Structure formats: structure tokens, C-alpha cells
Structure 1
Amino acid sequence: MIRIIAYLLLVLALGFGFSWLADRPGELQIVWQGQLVEMSLTAAATFLVAVVAFVMIGWWLVRTLWTSPHSVRRYFRARKRDRGYQALSTGLIAAGAGNAQLARRMSSRAKGLIRADQEPLIAVLEAQAALIEGKHDDARRLFEQMVSDPETRELGLRGLYLEANRLGAHEAARQYAERAAEDAPYLPWAAKAALEYRCQAGDWDEAVHLLDKQKVAGVISRTEAERLKAVLLTAKAEAQLDGDPAAARDNALNALKLAKDLVPAAVVAGKALMREDNLKKAASVLEGVWKLSPHPDLARVYVRARSGDGAMDRLKRAERLESLKPNNVESLMIVAEMALEAHDFEKARAKAEAAARMRSSERVFLLLADIEDAETGDQGRIRYWMGQALKAPRDPAWMADGQVSDKWLPYSPISGRLDAFEWKIPYAQLAGPVEEGTVISGAAALSDLPPLAAEGEEPKAEPVAVAPKRESQAPASRLAPPATPFQGRLPDDPGVKPDHQPSSEKTRLNLF
């Protein structure tokens, strides 16, 4: 397009020049070797343009004839190269499709048409063909050759990394990933593998440094980088908790700045602050995370802040948590557990029954069985609650890659994935409860509770494995309210507090 425009401009310029000369007639006289040559100015200009055009055409013909052998060789070389790249393309497609025979044939054809030292894709095709054919030794040799070439270094390291993992040589795989991540932190596979290996080795400082490099390189987003860094800082704080509580406190608090709802970070920060006798700060940290994500681990650390406190002190702190997050199952459960320890059976039963109406689970029914055992000792009722626990849905737990852990871990021991653990119901227990039978709601279970057995009377209770029949409605317990639910609880439920219950700063200061 540019050449066409330039050509048109040149023609216009010549036309304008000749028209200008035609409007200004004149004669040109040239004396050369005693000869007088006369011509018009227009004829002279035309002659000059013709001479220039003749010289240019002549020069083009001479140059074309002079360079014709090279042009012919270049034409055939380009044709040969095109055939080689066509064979290379076909071979790579065949390798991707798993056609080892065609891939090997195209590899041999491409080597005959293209120099292998000039095209690294030939080595890639050979390595892929060797892998498909099961010749892993040849593939590793080719990958090692790629590592020595700066252009294919990253590809060779990835191939060696995958082969090492296939053979179970985890140390060799770690070294390949570390080399790749050091030279090219922007490679997602290398960065992820190196980060997981450093976590497994407990090298938290290097893991944080590598994560920062990945963030700068744009491998992961800012939000994901902050979350993973919070997990790494929490793991580092857990490792420092026994030997250096001050460092553990700083790392845990920094983790909470990056992920405000990270429960393990709040637990570590609370424990570290309590070891420094900074109970008010510990309470503030735990309460802040409790408002965002109520969790049993937070409640246990909060209520047992001081080892010398009595059961009533722990009950008051549990009630403080309930005031921060009212009408919550975890809030009701921690109050019920502390009330049971304080032998306040009426409050323990009321809170546990309220939790059962909100969400029936194994833990709630087991707690009701403990309350029944401590308060009345009625074996019929105890067996009834145990039977409900066997048929109730399971409680959430720390879980990663299908495995359940007693505590939170920064990475999965199965896959090595960072931040893999989640607080949820285990997959294996989603299908149903342990014991077969009809699963009823917490309110229905409370309404079917057998009456207290008279003194000296043998208790009559249904077997543990069989759910009570709904047709024969048993009398409700002396504390069980009617069975009509209302927004997750019964009207005027004694175990549930209003949503907006005022809490004073004075109460908080009295607790810690």
C-alpha cells in the first residue's frame, strides 16, 4: 500500500513538473566539442528522465543476473525448510494425539530437512516420541541436552521434573523445580512445586521469599498471594510458638492483617499473647475473628485464657462470646459446655437444646447425653441421645484432599497443596449418618425425648440403633418446649438470646 501511494505521488510530481515547463517555454543550447546542440526545455527534461530510467532498469538487470544463483539456492532452501516445518508440525500433532509411529517418522523427516542445531523443536518432538514409545532413558537424555541450551532450558527442566516425579525421585524433582524457579520465577509449575517443597521442609522464610517473587512476576494474583502469605506466616508462627512467643505473635498478627478471618492465625496469636500475659490484647484478637468466623478452636482458647480460673469464670467468658455472635450454633455450644462444667445444668440444657433446634449434629446430641448423665443419670435418656448422635449428620472438621486432620495444617500431606485444609463436613460422611435409620430434626428429637424414669423403676428406652416412632408421641421432657419451629428456634426459646443484645465494656474488662 505504501509503495502504491509513493508511486502515485511520483507520477503526480512528474506530471506537475512537465506542466510547469510547458507553461514556461524556452530553449536549451549545449556546446560540446565545437558542436551546438539546441532543444526545447521540455525535450531536455524528457531526455533526462529517460536516461535516469534507463540506468535504473539496466542496474536492476545486471544485479538480477549477478545474484540469480544465490536467489535460486535461497528459493530451494526456503522450499526445503517449509517442507521440514510442515513435517515438524505434523509430528507434534501426532505426538499430542499419541501416534508414536507417525511422530517418529515425521521427526526423522524433519531432521533430514532442517538442521537440528538450528531448530530446537526437533529435540522436543524426539523427546515426546520417546515418551510415547516408553523409551524414558532416551527422553531423559534429550531433556538433559535441552537444559544445556538456553533457549530450551526451561522445557528441559520441566521434562526432567516430570520424569523424576514419575520415578518417585522426589529429591531430584525438588532440585529441578528449584533450579527452574530460581531462573524463571514466572513459571507457574516451577513456582508452585518449589513453594510446596519448601513448605514440606519447614523453610518458611524461603517460602515467603519465593511467594513474593511470584507476586512480582505476576504468576499469582494479589489476593491469592496475600492469602498464601498469611498461611505461611501462620505456619511459621506455630513453629515459633514454644521457643519464641514474641516472634510467633508478630507473625500471627501479620497473617491476620492479610487474612482477617484466618482462624489458625488468631488461635496462634491468642496463645502467644496469653503467654506474654497480655490477656486483653488476646481477647481483642480472638473476639475480632470470632465475629467474622465463629469456630470451636477460637472458643476453646478464649474461655481457657487463664489456667487458674474456675468454671464460673469460663462460663462468663463463653457468655461474652455468645453476646458477640448471638443465635449461632457455636456460641450456644460453648456456653452449654462451660455451663456443664460449672454444674449449671439448666442453662447447659437450654443452650444445647437451642443449638439442636438450629442444627442437629453428632456433637450436639453427645453434649445432651453428657448433660443427662451429669444431671439425672437416666440411662434411658442417655441411650436415647446416643442413638440420636449415631443417626445425626457429622460435624465439620479440618479436611484436605479427602483426608481429615485433628488440627489445621498449612499444606496437604497428600498432594502438598498449600492452604488446602478447609473446615467442612468430610466427604465420606456426606452420604448419611453412621447408624441407619430415620434422621429427624433437633426439635423433633427433643419432642420425642423419653420421660424421666421414676426412682427404682427400670428405664424403658428404644434400642440405640432404632429411631423412636413418631406415631406414639412420648411426653416431652420437663425442659423441652413445643415442637413447632419458628425461624430456626421455638418462640420464647430460653436458650437463644435476641439478635441485638447489648454488651458493655465493663463486662469485657471484668473477664480479663
Structure 2
Amino acid sequence: MLWSLVKILLFVAVVVGLTVGAGYVMETGPSVVVSVGSVELNLGPLQAVLLALAALVAIWLVFKIVSLLVAFLRFLLGDETALSRYFDRNRERRGYKALTESLMALAAGEGRQAMNQAAKAEKYLGNPTITNVITAQAAESMGDRKKAEESYKKLLKDDRARFVGIRGIMKQKLSEGDTDTALLLAEKAFALKPKHEEVQDTLLKLQAEHHDWTGARKTLGTKLRTGTLPRDVHRRRDAVLALSEAKDVLDAGKSIDAREAAIEANKLSPDLVPASIMAARGYIEKGKPRYAARVLKKTWDVTPHPELAMAFAEIEPNEDPKARLKRFGDLTKINPDHPETRMLLAELNIAAEDFPEARRALGDLPNSDPTARSLSIMAAIERGEGADDAVVRGWLTRAVTAPRGPQWVCDNCQKTEPTWQPVCSHCGGFDTLAWKELPKSELSLPTGSEMLPLIVGEKAKAPEPEMEPEAETKTEAETDVPEPHEPAPVDAVQPQATAEAAEVVEAQAEEIRK
């Protein structure tokens, strides 16, 4: 403390001396006369400045010598670390200077320079933790994965830096595609810092990819507790995980557990279409058709979807077309202006052989929002009303090149999936599939052969092999309630469709493809 005060007083004295000297030079003119006893020196301005600089250097040397003498005297008086502290201060100054330069080089993208300065800082400071972090990041910026991994492994020996080392190696394994090792490392990093948002997201993504739905739900709960996930998003994603868990349980043959898990998923997120369908089928198996209908109608109110109509048909699989049309009135009165509702109602009327009503239900949809499905339904209506083959082929021609309508599309990569999945098979995104239409530039067009059964009916095709009882029930449901991109087959409403008609449509479809 006293030594610092002496330094400050000396600095003030030097400033005062320089100020007085400058004033003296301004008063006496360009020459300076210095008298020391009987010796008198007449100096010019440049010589005076050089003499002043020499005096400053001499004073600095005196300070250094005095500091060294003080440290030596303390050592003689019993302070064994006095001399080492004196020299360590110089080493620290050099070390921190090298550390600063390494950080600046790293920020500037100069990886090699950052590594060299980090090694120099390590030499002076003897603190491998910070220098290993800088070295690892510099090696990553240069693409030297081996050097980066070696530096991260050194950090594992220090409790303070173990998380940084594990996270760094985890990212290395992810970039290499080794997701199994990355999952283990993510779990260790999560155990060290459960509030780290990046580790939470990485662990959740890896657990979903490995179908560890139970672990993923625990991670999701931690995200909610730590405030890194809104409550409404948590409910939605927890429902997705519960549904995925139900699917895995169903694949394992535990139908009761799958049913309960699906019902839980539907309660968490009633607007999740796959959860509603699985929950409804669970209620059907339990003999509760009213609960199944309630679940499906609630989801239809938010997101009309063709698979919901299929599940609604499974409630009464053996009813005739007119009875089905009447029962579906409870569903079609919800969102009556939605395109999906209008196409469903048109298909039901086609199955009931009420073609004028089917045309009224479809309305101007084939012109205002043409899709392969709506145009194919229109072709079926024309054939049912006895229109010429040329008219039917005209609608089919438009259907071949029309958009397919809503599909399961990934919000991240814009790729389509045939069925809903919790994780996108293309980009690995979790809960990114949405039921929507593709952008105009990415529309995929169906081929003509895919739409042939929609026009000529099942009777014009080759007979199918005998199916299991469950498959027969599903086929009957599909006959009355169409697949997501197929209207109801017209064989129920146009029995006279023949193989000759099939050949005409096949030839037209082949001509369109060419």
C-alpha cells in the first residue's frame, strides 16, 4: 500500500517537472541552459528532449532496482516467496498479454495464431484450463477434429471444466454421426448442468431419435421447470411423446397399455390428429363408441382430416351408406365450409347414390381449390350421372396434374411423410410435421394409374386374395370413408363399370403421362 502511494507521488512529481521544464523552454527561447555547480551546459530543444527521455529511463531503472532490492531484503528477513513473487508478476503480465492476443485471434478467425498464443500463455501462466478451451475452439475453427478432441479430453480432468469438455466431445460425435455416443455424453452433460438449454434440446432430440420416450418426457419436464419451454408448447410435445410411447407399446403387443397411453396423449393435446385417432380406436375396443365420437368431433373442429373420418367410420363398420350418411351428419356439421368436410360429404353422397347432392356438397371446390382428390370426386360424380367418357376423362386429365392437397409436411425441411411421425425422417426434427399443402414449387403429382380405381371401381380390378378379419373390416371402412387423397370408390354407386371402361381410362392416363 505504501509502495503504491510512493509510485503515485513520483508520477505526479514527474508530471510537474515536465510541465515546469516546458514552461522554462517557452520563456528562455530555443536554447536551454543547465547549470550543475561550476558546469554549465547550453542545450538545444532536441538535446533537451533527449536528456529528459534519458532521465525518465534512468528513473524507471531506479524503480526496478529498488523493487528488486526491496524483494531481496524481504527474502533476507524471512519472506521466502518475496523473490518468486517479484518474477511471477512479470510472467503473469506476459501470460495475460498472450492470453488476450489468443482470444482476439480466435475472435478474428485466426485459428493457428490463437493456438500459438494460447501455448505461450500456458507457458507463462501455468493454467491449462483456459488455454485448453481456447486451443480446442481454435482447432475446431481450423477443422482439426483430432486436436480439438484431445484438448476437450484434457478438460475432463478438471472438475470446473468437465462440462465444457463433455459438451465439446458431444458436439464432435454429433458431427461425426455417432449418435449413440453423443446420447451418453448428452446425458452426462445434462446431469452436470440440467438448466443448460442447448444440452436440453440436444438430449431431447437424441432421445426421440432413439425412441427413449420415457427419458424424453423427463427431459421435457425439466425444460418446463427451468423456464426454457412455454407451458402450452410443453403440453403439445408431451402429448407427442405420449403418443409415440403408445405406438411403441402397441407394436410390442400390449394393447391395453397402448390404449391408455393414447387416451392420455389425446387429453394432453386434443388437436393432435394421430392421438385422437388412436384414442378413439381405444374407446371403440373398450365398447365406448360415444366417447370415440366425442374425441373425433373435438379434433375435427380444430383440424378436419381424412383419417379422422376413417376412424369415425370404424365406430359402425357394418352400416349401409344411407345410415352412414345420416350418422356422419354430426361430424359434417362441424366446419361445414372446410374443403375436407365438403369432399367427405360428397363422397358419402356418392356412396349413397345421390349424385346431385354430392355435386351440391362439393360446390365450386374443383375450380376454386382444385386438387387431385376433388377433381377425382368430380369425375366420379360425372360417371355416376351417366356423363360421356370424354367428360370423365377431362376431369381425370386435370386430376393427374393437380396438386395433391394437404399432406404431412416438415416445417424444417419441407419434405413430406406418408404418415405422421414424431421425428422427421429427413432432417430429424422433433414435432415438425404439420398437415398442410406444399409450396407451389414443391408439389408432387400423382400418376394416372393411382387414380384408376377411383373411376372404374374395385370390380374392374383383379380379385384380391382373402384377407384376415381385421383387414376385411378396415377395407370396408375404407370403402365408405376414403383415404386421405382418395374419394370413395364408385363401384358402390356405378355397378355397371366394366373392364372396357378401365381400359379407356388406362389408355388416357398413359397418354397423359407421356
| Both proteins in one fold, TM over 0.5 | yes
> Does residue 419 of structure 2 align to residue 407 of structure 1?
yes
Partners of 1:255 and 1:235 in 2: CA distance: 9
Post-superposition offset of 1:226 = 1.8
Q: Please name the residue that 2:164 is paired with.
A: 155
d(CA) in 2 for partners of 1:223 and 1:78?
Answer: 56
**Aligned length in residues:** 378
Q: Deviations over 1:317-374 (max 9, x none)?
A: 3322121222221111111112222222222222123433553322211111122234
| 1:134-153 CA-partner distances (Å, limit 9, x unpaired) | 43222212211212322111
Cα-Cα RMSD: 3.3
| Aligned equivalent of 1:106, options 117, 136, 139 | 117
Which residue in 1 is equivalent to 2:328?
A: 318
Instruction: Name the aligned partner's letter for residue 214 of structure 2.
Output: D
Which residue in 1 is equivalent to 2:5?
none
Contact 2:404 2:443 in 1 (8 A): no
Does the CA contact (< 8 Å) of 2:375 and 2:399 recur in 1? yes
2:359 equivalent among 326, 335, 349: 349
**Distance between the aligned counterparts of 1:163 and 1:198, measured in 2?**
18
Q: TM-score, normalised by structure 1?
A: 0.66
Show CA shifts across 1:373-411 (max 9, x none): 343252111121122224434301001223211111111
| Match of residue 81, structure 1, among 67, 92, 96 | 92
The answer to whether structure 1 residue 285 and structure 2 residue 300 are counterparts is no
Pick the structure with more helix per residue. Answer: 2
TM-fit CA distance, 1:283: 0.4
**Matching of residues 460-471 of structure 1 within 5 Å:** none
Task: Give distance in 2, aligned partners of 1:386 and 1:199.
Answer: 42
Q: Which residue of 1 aligns with 2:431?
A: 419
- Provide the residue aligned with 1:383 in structure 2: 393
Which residue of structure 2 lines up, in the alignment, with residue 261 of structure 1?
Answer: 271
Alignment partner of 1:137 out of 146, 167, 177: 146
Contact kept? 1:245, 1:275, Cα under 8 Å: no
Deviation of 1:207 (Å): 1.6
Secondary structure of residue in 2 paired with 1:422? strand
3-state DSSP class of the match of 1:423? strand
Deviation, 1:201, is 2.5
Give the alignment partner of residue 373 of structure 1, picking from 379, 383, 390.
Answer: 383
Counterpart residue number, 2:234: 225
1:240 aligned onto 2:252: no
Q: Which amino acid aligns with 2:337?
A: N
- The residue type equivalent to 1:145 in the other structure is K
Secondary structure at the counterpart of residue 89 of structure 1: helix
Asked if 2 retains the 8 angstrom alpha-carbon contact of 1:387 and 1:465, the reply is no
User: 1 CA distance for matches of 2:358 and 2:163?
Assistant: 63
Q: Deviations over 1:412-457 (max 9, x none)?
A: 122322101111112464579789xxxxxxxxxxxxxxxxxxxxxx
So what's the TM-score if we normalise by structure 2? Answer: 0.66
Cα distance between partner residues in 2 of 1:110 and 1:100:
15
Query: Is the Cα–Cα contact under 8 Å of residues 332 and 351 in structure 1 kept in the other structure?
Result: yes
Per the alignment, in what secondary structure is the counterpart of residue 112 of structure 2? helix
Q: Which residue of 1 aligns with 2:405?
A: 395
Q: Deviations over 1:225-254 (max 9, x none)?
A: 222111101112233346344433432333
Aligned: 1:90 with 2:101: yes
- Aligned residue for 1:51? none
What is the DSSP-based 3-state SS (H/G/I as helix, E as strand, rest coil) of the residue aligned with 2:363? helix
Aligned to 2:435, the other structure's residue is in SS state: strand
1:125-204 to 2 correspondence within 5 Å?
125-204=134-213
Once the two structures are overlaid, the 10-residue window that deviates more, 198-207 or 272-281, is 198-207
Structure 1: gaps of 5 or more residues: 1-61, 436-458, 468-512
**In structure 2, distance between residues paired with 1:284 and 1:337:** 22
Q: Which amino acid aligns with 1:422?
A: A
SS at match of 1:399: strand
Q: Which segment is superposed worse, 286-295 or 368-377? A: 368-377
Indicate whether 1:329 and 2:339 are aligned: yes
Cα 1:139–1:300, aligned 2, differ >3 Å: closer, same or farther?
same
In the TM superposition, residue 75 of structure 1 has moved relative to its aligned partner by: 6.8
SS of equivalent to 2:171 = helix
Q: Deviations over 1:75-128 (max 9, x none)?
A: 7645643442342233133224321232122112211221124xx110011222
Contact 1:412-1:418 at 8 Å conserved across structures: yes
Identity of aligned residues (%): 28
Q: Match of 2:156, SS?
A: helix
SS at structure 2 position matched to 1:202: coil
Unmatched tracts of structure 2, length 5 or more: 1-69, 448-503
Give the distance between the partners of 1:434 and 1:96, measured in 2 at CA. 52
Confirm or deny: 8 A CA contact 1:264 1:408 kept in the other structure. yes
Q: Is the 8 A contact 2:346 2:361 kept in 1?
A: yes
